[in-house]
Chain A
Amino acid sequence: VIRIILILALARASGIAQNPDPAYGALEQAYASLREKNYDQAIAGFRQAIALAPNRASIHKDLAYALLKVGENEEARDQFAEAMRLDPTDQHVALEYAFLCYETKQQAIARRVFDRIRKTGDATAEEAFQNIDGPLAEGIARWEKALEGSPDNFSAHQELAALAEQRDELALAAVHYEKAWRLRPGERELLLDLGRVWKLEGRTEEANCVLLAASRGEPARVAEKARELLPARYPYVYEFEKALQLDPNNFELRREFAYLLLEMGKKEDAEREFQKLNQMAPDDLLSTAQLGFLRLNRGDYAGAQPLLDQVLKGTDDTLADRVRSALKLPQLMRHRGTTAQRTSEEAKSMAEKSLKAGYLKDALKYLSIAQENDPVDFAVMLKLGWLYNVMHQDQQAIKWFKLAAKSPDPAVAKEANQAYHNLAPAFALFRTTFWAFPFYSSRWNDAFGYAQVKTEIRLGHFPIRPYISARFVGDLRGTTGSTLSNPAPQYLSETSFIFGVGVTTLPIHGVVGWFEAGESVKYLTSRSDVGAMIPDYRGGIAYAKGFGHLLGGAKGFFFESNEDGVFVSRFQNDMLAYSQNRAGYTFARTETAALLQAQIYFNFNGTADRLGQYWANYVESGPGVRFRLRNFPKGMMFSTNFLRGVYTVNEYNPRRPNFFDLRAGFWYAFTH
């Protein structure tokens, strides 16, 4: 017997040691964390305990208290609610819940719970109830009085309704929510308030209708909130009808209703609704098309035609295709359909045709479709680059060239890369241009050199760019020596480096304006007519444009014009006008020869100035040839011109009034 008793005792002890409470471990950890004020861990422990023993009110209560410590009042409220549900006799929990409802803006619930508890004789609940109810009653009386004086006071109706709802005076709340909404139908949140109150009042049918109205159309937030309050099922027809009676201008609601009628086979009713939609928003292509189809279906061609025409002219291609299909017209080519590859090929072919016909916008549309359907077609990317370039949209062009430069096809990649690098400097923050033009002139028996290096700063889309510049203007001979009429030696060039800062405009139809200020530094130490460094201001406008088949292009005739108006301070603030024009023929590019391409042409040049100085007033003309050589840099161009000229001002001219001049030199420029 003793052994049996011992066994039973041990079994009981071991049972106690094992503890049948599944939440024991979690709770023990939670309480330990709570003692250490490690609330986050305590909360996690209580949650774990709840998962293991969900029906124990005390754990919900302890979790709620822990949540209160970290300020999670809403969650704490919900835990007290759960504890209250599990143990309705615990008045203390009910009070905690009610207080937290009050603190978390659920005043109506707080008032209801306090009201329930106070009826059991609880003084705390009584006081809390009065603290809530008294101000609500006062507020209602105050706003009712305010409305006596101004019955159309929107905010008074709104405030009164809100207070009445909190005091569970639902009928009063509904009346004033509705009045407020009628005063300001744009305040669609009031539809939600009205629906919520009607629902609480048990007016479910009306509530659903008003919530249905709120759930369609804008604002999106109200629509989403209304959706929460609506039943999960799809609305009934009569609910649509009632919602539309309440909110007749709700376009989205009416359109959905119209489609619902169509779905139900009620074509006449649907047509009536689409007719209303068309009157409400004549530009809405979807309802216009639908009304057109309905009329077409019942043989009202005259009624349907203008509507369908409107859709065909509209911007919705998909809809337009449906109209075409209904009217048995050929379809527009679509972005997506059949297979992407096939669409891409069709699009490329259409783009080619459009390009040949000169329809650039169409070509762009088709190339875009081709690219969309076959995004790794690098040849299409390259074409898009060229097309944008031709359309003067270089920012787009550069994007496509950059992409096409990644092509596995070396030819495509090379061409794209070259094009990209040609365009890229224009979009870089800094753009440095260098040009040089050395040439020999038989007339002066001298070699001249002109050169400039210039760095521009791009200021976004601002049409003016500042720059810094260094120029060189000089010659080998230096001076012509003194003459009878001019005892001082005459210098043939400025023989200087000119350093300056300036601004230039972006070209507009080939015209550029510029101005710079700087210092001119002479490099001829023996030169005595100017100081070693003199201020230099210059500026002007320049126009340069070529027509026809220019060098670098295909063979054919061409014409080029360079017109410059220049102000130069060092020439006694003179203003000079230069006109240089060439008309001639460009030969085809050779495939392998050293001579890459050549032009022959005739020059027509003229120069004039403000001060009427002889050296700046002459005209000249004569033949010339320009060419590029294969193994030389691509920015290098050689030229030889034979010119016959005549001075148009001969006052102080120490020379003959006319001249021959053979000029030979090369032009070299690059941009980085």
Chain B
Amino acid sequence: MPSHIKHGSVGQALSPANRIAAAALLFLMTIAAHAATLTYHIAGDDAGPWPQILGSIGLTAAAGGPANLVVVRNVAPGSVPQWMQRITEGEIVVLEGESELAQALGFEAGKKHVVVRSMVDEHAPKLPIVWKTGVDIPVFAVPADARIFATERWEGAPLEAAVRRGSGAVLWIAVEPGRQGYERFPYLLQALSDLGMSAPFRSERLWAFFDGSYRSRVDLDYFAERWRKAGIGVLHVAGWHYYESGPANDEYLRRLIEACHRKAILVYVWLELPHVSEKFWADHPEWREKTAILQDAQLDWRKLMNLTNRQSFAEVSKGIQALVTRFDWDGVNLAELYFESLEGADNPARFTPMNADVREEFQRLHGFDPLTLFEPGKTDAAQLGTFLNYRAELAGRQQEEWIAKIETIRESKPNLDFVLTHVDDRFDTSMRNLIGADAARVLPLLDRHDFTFLIEDPATIWNLGPERYPKIAEKYQPLTKQTNKLAIDINIVERYQDVYPTKQQTGTELFELVHVAAKAFPQVALYFENSILAPDLPLLAASAATVDKVQQDGRRLIVDSPYGVGVPWQGPALVNGRQWPVHDQTTLWVPAGPNIIEPAAKDPALRMLDFNGNLRSAAASPAGLEFSYQSNARAAAVLNKRPQKLEVDGNSTAQPLLESGLNFVILLPRGQHVVTISMTPRPLDRP
């Protein structure tokens, strides 16, 4: 049973003397209720990259108050005994390289040196971690009881290790982490977590792309729980595997959707038109897209179809309608509907579209066959420009056509959310000519259609640091007034560029990317669920959380966040002076804006343990609870008790109810609503 239930019964049953003792105990428990690491302190004049590293999971610099995480960059002469005492008393201290304090703890530089170019980290021992520039460092002796997190790859010299002293701990690294904070030690934050540091906040609003072919044999319930813990709110499921109905595939997808809904995760169908499906490609060779060398356009994994052809479009349109209506989707994501490839017209073997319909239409409009542009020696820059403009226009037309199609499907499924994924062509302006992507043409559609514009950062800039996201956001501000409908997609993949220390983003680099992106955009998507490395999952929700202000004022915690946030909390709580019914055993969820959280004496009987939607307000009532929300898709509420009665906007309603272990999940309608949930019918309702 949760501890808050016990508090209630203790308060009622004990004698006055024991009540005082119980109150003292309650006070002590509530102090511990939010004992997460909220702030850090850096000892030394130069903070180095530590604010970025620690800030990437929401830690903020201590403003004069106590901090239980300290990075000691400069050890003042004579200060070693004080530091040792502070460690023993519970501080987590980070040390870099050689210092008097490191030496006192047993990290001692030897005479032998090693040039470090790559290392092995116990958090991902098979992951190649390579430093861009080798660093000559002494081989250190570490204390016998040290836990070694990372070693130099070839010689095994310790590079990152920790010791526990008293109730505190020390994380030592052989050399500073680098300018951005992730150039050398990707898993510093994981090591700190292992030593007892806990991230201050959580967000469960992340979107993640999902391809069932990588997860065909997993336990879906296990994964749904894991995704939710990692902060994922929406799974965008590769829809092309289910385009054709098949018993095994359909059953898998139904189980996936149910498992997700049981954990309050929404599921969108992700379409990658003009790729339709393997079978469609095999069955319709006549509608295959062509490259500029007139080969069928099978490029990488995508097998592209000619959607300019009206028969092909009609057939695919019918198939998409069937796919969307066949399953209990929460949304549709129409992604990357333009042409190939990132090499543009420089590589005719990958250049599309060059199907007969496109060539014919273009010839009719401009008087020449675009194929001639690719004949050796016949390249004409002006003519190519004409074709590239036509191609971008055609991509825009196709997007509009498909948006209209999805809108018609929504008429029969009004709770469907809609997302258009579009590569960025504002920050990287080469995209229009390379693949025909033109955001400026699509963004005005936001004024006429209700969808989210998900900006995919193009492969060409995957090597740039997290600071690119505010810059991308800036580029889109002038193009639309609907900035709340913009989202950003972070591709967590092996990058083709020469990047360090890891080929794909992980650890601090990933957290910095997610954190900065979450500050710059209202919504962040990750491509994709399968590529997020296991060591990153526990801190991902923390990196996605954005908080404008946090202040500890005695027992009160003041948190101001733009989109709502989960605060580490155990036990009953008051939020803005009212009994708060939205929390589970470890996290208390508050809506956007400033909120004052403080311990309470007891919990309401009916609580909402988790909620997927934008919570606007909540309150406990004698019969249950009331809350209001806004959501672009259906909203999911996880309750600790079976609800007896549900009212949405004052009207009794029967929404789908799912059992999730001991809990219950209600799927609520899309839009903005006020919900009242009762555990027992109110007296007036009784016959």
A residues with CB within 8 A of B: 37, 39, 68-71, 73-74, 103, 139, 142-143, 145-146, 149-150, 153, 155-156, 219-221, 223-225, 227, 375-376, 399, 403, 406
Given known contacts A69-B222, A145-B295, A155-B347, is B76 in contact with A221 (CB within 8 Å)? no
Q: Assess the B77–A37 pair: CB atoms within 8 A.
A: no
Given known contacts A220-B130, A220-B133, A224-B128, is B295 in contact with A71 (CB within 8 Å)? no
Closest to A156 in B: B349
A69, A103, A375: the one contacting B214 at CB < 8 Å is A103
Q: Assess the A146–B349 pair: CB atoms within 8 A.
A: yes
Q: Assess the B500–A220 pair: CB atoms within 8 A.
A: yes
Contact partners of B181 in chain A: CB under 8 A? none
Q: Assess the A70–B349 pair: CB atoms within 8 A.
A: no
Q: Assess the A71–B130 pair: CB atoms within 8 A.
A: no
Q: Is B228 an interface residue (CB 8 A)?
A: no
Contact partners of A103 in chain B: CB under 8 A? 213-214
Tell me the minimal C-beta distance from B497 to chain A in angstroms.
10
Count residues of chain B with CB under 8 A from any CB of chain A. 37
B residues with CB within 8 A of A: 45, 76-78, 117-118, 126, 128, 130-134, 153-154, 213-215, 217-219, 221-223, 293, 295, 298, 343, 347-350, 376, 498, 500, 503, 530
Contact partners of B298 in chain A: CB under 8 A? 139, 142
Q: Assess the A71–B503 pair: CB atoms within 8 A.
A: no
Contact partners of A406 in chain B: CB under 8 A? 76-78
What DSSP secondary structure best describes chain B's contact surface?
loop
Scoring A71, A142, A223, A406 by chain B CB atoms within 10 A of each residue's CB, the highest score goes to: A71
Tell me the minimal C-beta distance from B522 to chain A in angstroms.
30
Q: What are 19 residue pairs bridging A and B, where the CB atoms are less than 8 Å apart in the complex?
A: A69-B218, A70-B218, A70-B222, A71-B215, A71-B218, A74-B126, A142-B295, A149-B293, A150-B348, A150-B349, A153-B349, A155-B343, A155-B347, A219-B132, A219-B498, A220-B131, A224-B117, A406-B77, A406-B78
Contact partners of A227 in chain B: CB under 8 A? 154
A70, A145, A221: the one contacting B219 at CB < 8 Å is A70
Q: Assess the B130–A224 pair: CB atoms within 8 A.
A: yes
Tell me the minimal C-beta distance from B241 to chain A in angstroms.
14
B77, B78, B128, B219: the one contacting A39 at CB < 8 Å is B219
Given known contacts A69-B222, A71-B215, A153-B349, is B118 in contact with A224 (CB within 8 Å)? yes
Closest to B503 in A: A221
Closest to A225 in B: B128
B78, B223, B376: the one contacting A71 at CB < 8 Å is B223
Contact partners of A375 in chain B: CB under 8 A? 77
Closest to B45 in A: A399
A145, B348: Cα distance in complex, Å: 13
Q: Other CB < 8 Å A-B pairs besides A220-B130, A223-B117, 12 of them? A: A69-B222, A70-B219, A70-B222, A71-B214, A139-B298, A142-B298, A146-B349, A149-B348, A155-B347, A220-B131, A220-B132, A220-B500
Contact partners of A74 in chain B: CB under 8 A? 126
Q: Which 7 A-B pairs have the closest CB atoms?
A: A146-B349, A219-B498, A69-B219, A68-B217, A221-B130, A71-B218, A224-B118
Tell me the minimal C-beta distance from A183 to chain B in angstroms.
13
Contact partners of A153 in chain B: CB under 8 A? 347, 349
Contact partners of A376 in chain B: CB under 8 A? 77
A230, B52: Cα distance in complex, Å: 38
Contact partners of B77 in chain A: CB under 8 A? 375-376, 406
Contact partners of B118 in chain A: CB under 8 A? 220, 224
Tell me the minimal C-beta distance from B281 to chain A in angstroms.
11
Tell me the minimal C-beta distance from B168 to chain A in angstroms.
24
Tell me the minimal C-beta distance from B300 to chain A in angstroms.
9
A74, B125: Cα distance in complex, Å: 13
Tell me the minimal C-beta distance from A34 to chain B in angstroms.
10
Contact partners of A69 in chain B: CB under 8 A? 217-219, 222
Closest to B296 in A: A142
Closest to A145 in B: B295
Q: Assess the A37–B130 pair: CB atoms within 8 A.
A: no
Closest to A68 in B: B217
A143, B219: Cα distance in complex, Å: 40
Tell me the minimal C-beta distance from B502 to chain A in angstroms.
9
Tell me the minimal C-beta distance from A102 to chain B in angstroms.
11
Contact partners of A155 in chain B: CB under 8 A? 343, 347, 349-350
Closest to B499 in A: A221
A143, B295: Cα distance in complex, Å: 10
Closest to A189 in B: B498
Q: Assess the A39–B222 pair: CB atoms within 8 A.
A: yes
A221, B348: Cα distance in complex, Å: 31
Contact partners of B78 in chain A: CB under 8 A? 406
Contact partners of B76 in chain A: CB under 8 A? 403, 406
A74, B298: Cα distance in complex, Å: 27
Tell me the minimal C-beta distance from A70 to chain B in angstroms.
6
Contact partners of A71 in chain B: CB under 8 A? 214-215, 218, 223, 530
Tell me the minimal C-beta distance from A419 to chain B in angstroms.
16
Contact partners of B221 in chain A: CB under 8 A? 37
Contact partners of B498 in chain A: CB under 8 A? 219, 221
